[in-house]
Amino acid sequence: MRKVKNIIPEVVVRRLPRYFRLLSELEREGKDRISSSVISKRLNITASQVRQDFSHFGAFGLQGYGYDVNFLKEEIKNILGLDKEYNVVIIGAGNIGKALANYKKFNNQGINITAVFDIQTKNIELPNGLEVSHIDTFSDFAKNNKVDIAVITTQGEAVEDLAKTIKECSIPAIWNFSHFYIQSDEKTAVENINLNESMFTLIYLLNNLENK
């Protein structure tokens, strides 16, 4: 059995998708082995850190050889949990909701958008025969269907209540695009994407470029 330290630091977890992406690229390029120094160059992460990151999960590489691209990719895929299937519902059929529903990349990755909800079920074009359901039917849907991830793309005050409802429905993950900051807890993983915060950070960086 693989030696795995119990808790992987979140900084490391957040680098895993980048490694995964690079390894997918390398596979497309036909490469079948890779060294930490090459990974270092392509991702702008020190080679030492690359090895340190991988060592959290055990020994993936071979001294004098490097890493097997396909093996490493599959390992990271498994660590991330991308070997399983996930049902995703989108709440809010505005521009962001539509953008996510149409996001091609998710389809071939075990991420299935199974429903879209909004306060108005108007004529919105969605792929794969998806239709917009009324938000009032959300709770029932969540009770009768396996929902792994709820995506919040609505704005306004109602988000706080919505987050409560999602947690009550025992949906274990929230991808939150609203202004409201949702706290993760023991039963709910949360990924907050706050466009305002991101833009403000960018503006700070823009104004402080010379400090870099």
**Among 21-29, 30-38, 80-88, 91-99, which window interacts with DNA (CB under 7 A)?**
30-38
Q: Tokens 């299935």 identify what position? A: 112
Least distance in angstroms from the C-beta of 186 to a copy of itself? 6
Pick between residue 48 and residue 127 the one whose CB is nearest to a copy of itself: 127
Backbone angles phi, psi at 165, to 5 degrees: -60, -45
Asked if residue 4 binds DNA (CB under 7 A), the reply is no
From the list a copy of itself, DNA, none, pick the one residue 194 interacts with, judged by a Cβ distance below 5 to 8 Å according to partner type.
a copy of itself
Least distance in angstroms from the C-beta of 212 to a copy of itself? 6
Asked if residue 191 binds a copy of itself (CB under 8 A), the reply is yes
Pick between residue 55 and residue 145 the one whose CB is nearest to DNA: 55
Q: Tokens 């009550």 identify what position? A: 168
Show Cβ contacts of residue 28 under 8 Å, excluding neighbours closer than 6 positions: none
Asked if residue 46 binds DNA (CB under 7 A), the reply is yes
148: left (phi over 0), alpha (psi -120 to 50) or beta: alpha
Asked if residue 60 binds DNA (CB under 7 A), the reply is yes
Q: String of b and e for 197-207 (b: at least 16 CB within 10 Å)?
A: eeeeeeeeeee
Pick between residue 47 and residue 111 the one whose CB is nearest to DNA: 47
Give dist(CA 152, CA 173) in Å, integer: 11
Contact residue for DNA among 16, 22, 23, 51 (CB under 7 A): 51
**Which tokens in the block code for residue 195?**
């466009």
Residues that bind a copy of itself (CB under 8 A): 6-8, 13-14, 16-18, 20-21, 43-44, 79-82, 84, 86, 94-96, 98-100, 102-103, 105-106, 111, 148-149, 172-173, 175, 179, 181, 183-191, 193-212
Residues that bind DNA (CB under 7 A): 9-12, 34-37, 45-49, 51-52, 54-55, 59-67
